[in-house]
Amino acid sequence: MGRDSLQNKIMSIEEIKELWSKTYSADGKPDWSHIFPFYHENIIFQDSIQRIEGKVEFEAMCNRLAKRCKSLRMDIYTIIKADNSVMMEWKMTMSFRVFPTKPIYGATRLTFDSDGLIIEQRDYYDLWGDICDGIPVVRSIYRWLMRVFFG
């Protein structure tokens, strides 16, 4: 299959932004059901917490997050499409039952198969850094530890 044929099967930047923006709502629970059809049965999802293999497990993970969140909103800043991949830069603001609303900044790489389905999704973010930055004393200690051990 030629490169142009694959590019025609992969969602456009506009379609991706529209679909992912519908997923999250500041007023209610997130809902991923409208994007599930764009995922391959053998999707591999990975982020800083977990690795999920298979569409059934991926959908279950999304539904668990929806159940835990009071609200979840995603602001997409940048989307870049190249070959069979798309990169998105975002800010996700989550509100849980007990904890205050907290933004997390990150990026997502979507990789498409030859049929234009998402075969891999890799989310990149610093969960603990973004959480700790909201707690004054903990922020200083966490950032000091990160500089000492990784900087």
CATH number for the domain harbouring residue 35:
3.10.450.50
User: Is 133 among the domain residues?
Assistant: no
Q: Which residues contact 139 (CB under 8 A, 6 or more apart)?
A: 132, 133
User: Is 149 among the domain residues?
Assistant: no
Q: Which domain holds residue 34?
A: 3-126
The answer to whether 43 and 119 have CB atoms below 8 angstroms apart is: yes
Q: What is the number of structural domains in the chain?
A: 1
- Is the per-residue pLDDT at 151 higher than 70? no
- Is the per-residue pLDDT at 141 higher than 70? yes
User: Is 28 among the domain residues?
Assistant: yes
- Residue 41 is encoded by which pair of tokens? 């049965």
The residue among 99 and 119 whose pLDDT is bigger is: 119
- The pTM for the full model equals 0.81
Q: What is the pLDDT of residues 16-58, one digit of tens each?
A: 988 887 776 656 667 788 899 999 999 999 998 899 999 999 9
User: Is 11 among the domain residues?
Assistant: yes
